[in-house]
Homo-oligomer: A and B are copies of this chain.
Amino acid sequence: MEEKIYIFGHKNPDTDSICSSLVSEILDKKNGWKDTEARRLGNVNKETQYVLDYLGIEAPALLEKVEEGQGVALVDHNEFNQSVEGIEKAKIWSVTDHHRIANFETSEPLYYTAKPYGCTCTILFEEFKRLGHEIGKKEAILMASAIISDTLLLKSPTTTEYDKKALEELEKIAGINVNEYGLEMLKAGTNLDDFSANELINLDAKNLDKDGTKFVIAQVNTVSIDDVLKRQAELEEAMRKEIEEKGLKLFVLAITDILNSNSKIIALGEKAETVEKAFDVKLENNTAFLPGVVSRKKQILPNIDKNI
């Protein structure tokens, strides 16, 4: 391989997307199979910044679009509408992911490794093991942070025994107390005060498409749902603007209480009633409380996808 292969997670990158791309670059260097370089598709959020600051490292460089034929490796996503501009004409070498597969296609065979785990970094952890590579402290902290983030300290229903096992081993290598470090990291991500409403609904928003019906499910983590809901009027205004600009049929914002593991959703758009069917609730003032719901991937998306 002459040319660099860019490796990146999804748009609106979360901690798993950034950490997976950094860890994959380290893994690829150890393997020597291909020359990859981590990139990011958007701003680093505050939770991820906490991790980078803890390690004293820089975020990967921003990648705005790719040219035709550019070699890429996707981590933590596969859907083209969550990926980089130009992805349809790129040469996809590999995908390493823990999400459903949709809105994805290639014209040639590729490496694809998906497992229904809580976190992409747990799959990468198993790759280190499989290939017999030693895990250094830096990558241990990156992988532990991603697992803590995606599983909300192993409390999300997306958590598997593999995530638990990986985090247990990574904790030792990283030399951190996972509960203390993890809570600080998660809290760092819940300081939403200095975001505009528009920034807030885009912090962790996934663009989705079901047979041409476009919808968005965005999520913010908080330690106080009420604090976020105080801004409901301006959040709804920002959501309505996105609906109009992107031709969406539904915009769901999930405000997730990471301490008590519940969510309140705001649902707007002509298919807003989808969420009533999906969760057997009545929307009141465009909102509904979903006890025990914290996972977009496992709890929110599949139910909306079936009912939209």
Contacts and interface: CB of A to CB of B under 8 A. Distances in A.
Contact of A101 (B105, B117, B301, B302): B105
Interface string A96-124: 00111111111111111111110000000
A230 interface: no
A306 interface: yes
Contacts of A130: 130
A305 B111 CA distance: 20
Interface residues of A, number: 27
Contact of A302 (B104, B107, B298): B107
A157 to B, nearest CB: 12
State the main secondary structure of chain A at its contact with B: loop
Interface in A109-143: 109-117, 130
A99 B105 contact: no
Contact of A107 (B103, B114, B115, B306): B306
A109 B117 CA distance: 8
A4 to B, nearest CB: 20
B114 A112 contact: yes
B106 A101 contact: yes
B109 A99 contact: yes
A302 B108 contact: yes
A100 B109 CA distance: 4
B105 A110 contact: no
A297 interface: yes
B98 A102 contact: no
A163 to B, nearest CB: 13
Interface string A245-281: 0000000000000000000000000000000000000
14 contacts: A100-B105, A100-B106, A100-B107, A100-B109, A101-B101, A101-B105, A101-B110, A102-B105, A103-B105, A104-B104, A107-B302, A109-B116, A111-B115, A112-B112
Interface of A: 98-117, 130, 297-298, 301-302, 305-306
Given A101-B101, A111-B114, 4 more contacts: A98-B109, A100-B106, A101-B110, A112-B112
